[in-house]
Chains A and B, each alone.
Chain A
């Protein structure tokens, strides 16, 4: 059996401060396709990794605007255009009575867009990830911290990236297969 295509390099760290420093160095070196794997939530790691704010709110906003317009135009179309009908002595169309429904649809569509946008951006559900079959993964769920830099990163260079990880204090640096 031949070695498959390389996914990237993995380096281990024994403590969160070491991981923080390593992440800051990888971030400052300009890598974009890389990740840190920790057994628990590490506050502030997103900043150390230079992560930008999530783009999910943009999906939410689009969903909300679409929901509001849907509600307003649907009620106008049904009550004032397609089949004009007087209800309770009110005008055929008024934003007053269209508002509660439009507001509910704003919330509904915002929720759908938020959930959908989140799955689109985080690429879940993901049934396979090269890290899952790596032997290090067991420790990543227990007591060790890892940084993985993908070979697909434009700045990736087998020797230089390995040197960077070593210099950042990474231990047991190994290659991951795709």
Chain B
């Protein structure tokens, strides 16, 4: 290993980030305030609420993906990712805040049922005359789709995420001080039961929060679709954060081409995984051609949503896939950063594509993508993202940059793959 940059050693506390954290907090509060103002002042409060749901689903996806990556790291007893793992552990600090930010949505479920999720209001009139309460497709699912279940399950998802995060963070941060191997074993056990728990939580979260907006629809791929976006989002932000730390000087002499190439290669693999899942969902529905399933895509072929679908096909798959086929674009920071930022943005479009067309007019036609709701999506994403960024930076300032006493830290620092020049 070459010596790290002269200003500070890797073992020392990272350079101050308090000012940056303050900026994130301000941006977050401004974004949330604008979204709240929109909700209470705008003509269409349902559109604002649904946009906020997009924002919270997006940032939850990022943090759920980070949790999954940390768990996967531990279950495989991985070496290369030790120097990266700490950044994901800091990201997990956002879970409690995401829960707090979800509370307005839970409140809306009780105070104004049917505002966001139409099945919460049994008197909600469906296209064709009858109501949710008399709809056989709702009645069959009623034991699952009711406000009490929704509330209990959502609290449950966050309980699982916050509990798993707390265990992983405590183990990792305490090991910095005492160097005890037992923390590594504890995290491996957390991973063994945490992966199925997190898989269930994220699947049901996707079903309750997003898929149930159009509760007539069936898709067995939905949870996996959300999972693939979670992992892609976490890896995209993993690239952004680690490149930022490298450019700031923290990671100089710690983070090398080999670990970076592993991270981007994993992101590249999930580009293909996302395409596989998303195509399979479309293909099975296209092939079976059952009205209960095809209506979902028919809605998304009306207006400008058709173009958004094309944007997802090319922008979410072909663009990153073709760029990342080239080794240089995976192993070099500048192009990999650009592709990762693009992926982070296109995942937001994907979630918009899944959520926003649920908002239909009386003729069953969805509001277009380019409408005022896009503004509320952006204020929500900035608002919730600002809080998540602030939570990350607050946690970042409290611990070492890397897990200095992890049993595999040396293996990670000297990680070398034979294919890299």
Contacts from A to B (Cβ < 8 Å):
41, 43-44, 46-47, 51-54, 57, 61, 88-90, 96-97, 99-100
User: Smallest CB-CB separation from B415: which chain A residue?
Assistant: A43
Closest Cβ–Cβ distance, residue B274 to chain A (whole Å): 14
A100 touches B416 (CB 8 A): no
- Set of chain A residues within 8 Å of B314, measured between Cβ atoms: none
- Interchain residue pairs A-B with the least CB separation, the first 6: A43-B416, A96-B286, A96-B283, A47-B421, A53-B421, A44-B416
Q: Are A100 and B283 in contact (CB under 8 A)?
A: yes
Are A53 and B419 in contact, with the CB atoms below 8 A? yes
* A-side interface mostly: loop
Min distance, Cβ B408 to any Cβ of chain A, angstroms: 16
Taking Cβ atoms with an 8 Å cutoff, the residues of B that contact A are 279, 282-283, 286-287, 289, 325, 327, 414, 416, 418-419, 421
Q: B279 near A88 (CB under 8 angstroms)?
A: no
Instruction: Chain A residues near B414: list those with CB within 8 A.
Output: 43
Q: B18 CB to closest chain A CB, in angstroms?
A: 39
B283 touches A53 (CB 8 A): no
Q: Which residues of B lie under 8 Å from residue A43 when comparing CB positions?
A: 414, 416, 418
Please indicate the chain B residues that have their CB under 8 angstroms from the CB of A96 in the complex. Answer: 282-283, 286-287
Given B283, B287, B416, B419, which contacts A54 in the complex, CB threshold below 8 Å? Answer: B419
A46 and B283 contact, Cβ closer than 8 Å, known pairs A61-B325, A89-B289: no
Cα–Cα, bound, A43→B416 (Å) = 7
Closest A-chain residue to B328, C-beta based?
A53
B282 proximity list for chain A (CB < 8 A) = 96
Closest A residue, CB atoms, query B325: A61
A58: shortest Cβ distance to chain B, in Å? Answer: 11
Q: Please report the C-alpha to C-alpha distance between residue A52 and residue B289 in the assembled complex, in whole angstroms.
A: 51
Q: A54-B419, A96-B283, A99-B279 are in contact. List 13 more A-B contacts (CB 8 A).
A: A41-B418, A43-B414, A43-B418, A51-B421, A52-B421, A53-B327, A53-B419, A53-B421, A61-B325, A88-B287, A89-B289, A99-B283, A100-B283
Distance in Å: Cβ of A106 to nearest Cβ of chain B: 11
Question: Closest CB of chain B to A125's CB: distance in Å?
Answer: 21
Q: Please measure, in the bound complex, the distance between the C-alpha atom of A80 and the C-alpha atom of B36, giving whole angstroms.
A: 56
For A43, give the chain B residue with the smallest CB separation. Answer: B416
Q: Provide the residues of chain A in CB contact with B418, threshold 8 Å.
A: 41, 43, 46
A139 to chain B, nearest CB (A): 24
For B289, list chain A residues within 8 Å (CB): 89
Inside 8 A of A41's CB, which chain B residues have their CB? 418
For the complex formed, measure the closest distance between the CB of A90 and the CB atoms of chain B, giving whole angstroms: 8
Known: A47-B421, A51-B421, A99-B279. A57 touches B327 (CB 8 A): yes
CA distance A89 to B287 in the complex (A): 10
Q: How far is the CA of A41 from the CA of B417 in the complex (A)?
A: 11
Question: Closest residue of chain A to B287, judged by CB?
Answer: A97
Closest to A94 in B: B286
Chain A residues lying within 8 Å of B283, measured Cβ to Cβ, are: 96-97, 99-100
Contacting residues, chain B, for A90 (C-beta < 8 A): 287
What's the Cα separation between A99 and B416 when bound, in Å? 37
> What distance in Å separates the Cβ of B268 from its nearest Cβ neighbour in chain A?
13
Chain A residue nearest to B418 in the complex (CB): A46
CB distance from B88 to the nearest CB of A (A): 26
| Chain A min CB distance to B271 (Å) | 14
Q: Which residues of A contact B421 (CB under 8 A)?
A: 46-47, 51-53
